[in-house]
Amino acid sequence: MTSKLGERVVVHAPAKVNLELRVGPLQDDGYHPLVSVFQAVSLFEEVVASTTASGTGISVTVRGPGAAQVPTDGSNLAVRAARLLAERAGVEPAAHLSLRKAAPVAGGMAGGSADAAATLLACDLLWDAGLSREELLALAAELGSDVPFALVGGTALGTGRGDRVTPVLARGEFHWVLALAETGLSTPAVYAEHDRLVAAAAAVPDLEPRVSDDLAAALLAGDPVSLGACLSNDLQAAALSLRPELRAVVRLGEEHGALGILLSGSGPTVALLASGSDQALELAVALTASGVAADVRRVTGPVPGARQVESAAVSPLHPSRRGR
C-alpha cells in the first residue's frame, strides 16, 4: 500500500540502564565481547514518521535536550534505520522523521539506538512494509548493538556485541533516579581508557564474560535490595577516570542510602536504585539541591520496547502482515 500525504505514525522507544555490564578483551576486529543485562526504563524517545510533499527521500528534525548535538544528515542513526528498512522491504524511502529527545545524548542510555528502533517500527507501519518481528530485529542488529533491545524492551540479556538479546524474567517494578551530566562521553574514548586501565593493572579479562547468578535471582525475586548489591559495570572505572567529577554523584547517593549506584553503559549518566517511590523522590531532591548533576529524572523499569502511541491500532513488533 502507498502512503498518502499527511499520514503520520508516532512511536515511543525506551532508554536503558545496564544492570550489569561485563567486558571481555579487545579482539582483532576492534570490538570487545560483551555480556550485559539491560533494563528499559520510562524515559522515552519519540519518533514521528510522516509522509512528505516531495514523496521522496528521508529528512529529519530533532528537538529536546541535546538536540543541537544530534546530526541531521545521513549519519543520523534514525535516518540510517529508515533507509535500511526501505531497501530491505523494497519500498521508496520517503518520509520525514521528527525526533523528540528525552534520553541524554552520549549519556550511556542508548537514546540514539532507541531513535533507530522507533524509526524501524514507525516506517514499517507508515509504508505498510509488513516486516515480521524477526526481520525488524535482524535490521536492528545491523544498525547497532543496543537497537534490538530498544525494540524488545523489558529486561534482557545482551551477548556478542550486545546485539543478541534474550528476555530475562524480572518481577515487580524498580525505581531509579538518573543523574544526567551536562555533556556526554565518547564511547570509544571510554573503551580505550578501559583497555589502558586493564593493561596497567596487568589484569586478564574473561574471554567469555558472564553475568552473575545473584543478579538473575534478584530480578526473579523482584528484590531491589538484592539487585542493588549486584549492580556492576566494567566500564565504570574508565568513565570515572575520564570524568572524576562524577564521583560526587556516587558519594551523595551513598550518603542518602541508594540501594545501588552505577554508571549506565559507557556513562556519564549515573543510575541510582531506590527502595521505592518515596526514596526515589528523596534522592532526586538531594541530587537537585546539591547541584552535582545537570538534570535529575525519576524513572521506573522495566517498561515495554518500541510501540506505537498514535495512528492505526497495531501491536508493536506485530506479526508479519504479508499476504493480506
The answer to whether 104 is annotated as binding is yes
* Calpha distance 247→173 (Å, rounded): 27
Q: Any bridge partners for residue 301, and if so which?
A: 174
The answer to whether 48 is annotated as binding is no
Fill in the DSSP letter of residue 153. Answer: B
Return the closest-CA partner of residue 10 out of 95, 112, 88, 132: 95
The answer to whether 306 is annotated as binding is no
Say if residues 114 and 45 touch (Cβ distance below 8 Å): yes
The answer to whether 108 is annotated as binding is yes
The phi and psi torsions of 274 (rounded to 5 degrees) equal -110, 160
R_g over Cα of the chain: 20
Residue with cell string 556478542: 160
3-state secondary structure (DSSP) of residue 189: helix
The answer to whether 109 is annotated as binding is yes
Cis peptide before 167 (omega within 30 of 0): no
CA dihedral (106, 111, 113, 119) in degrees, to 10, reads -140
CA dihedral (122, 127, 128, 131) in degrees, to 10, reads -60
The answer to whether 188 is annotated as binding is no
Residue of 124, 146, 163, 234 with catalytic role: 146
Angle (CA) 284 285 288, round 5°: 85
The answer to whether 153 is annotated as binding is no
Q: Is 101 a catalytic residue?
A: no
* Calpha distance 195→189 (Å, rounded): 10
The answer to whether 112 is annotated as binding is yes
Residue of 16, 101, 115, 163 with catalytic role: 16
Burial of 221 (0-12, 13-18, 19+ CB in 10 A): middle
The answer to whether 107 is annotated as binding is yes
The answer to whether 313 is annotated as binding is no
The answer to whether 266 is annotated as binding is no
Q: Is 146 a catalytic residue?
A: yes
Burial of 243 (0-12, 13-18, 19+ CB in 10 A): middle
Strand order, beta sheet including 270-274: 260-263, 270-274, 174-180, 295-301
Q: Where are the alpha helices (DSSP H) in 107-172?
A: 111-126, 133-143, 147-152
Catalytic residues: 16, 146
Which residues define the annotated binding site for ATP?
104-114
Which residues define the annotated binding site?
104-114
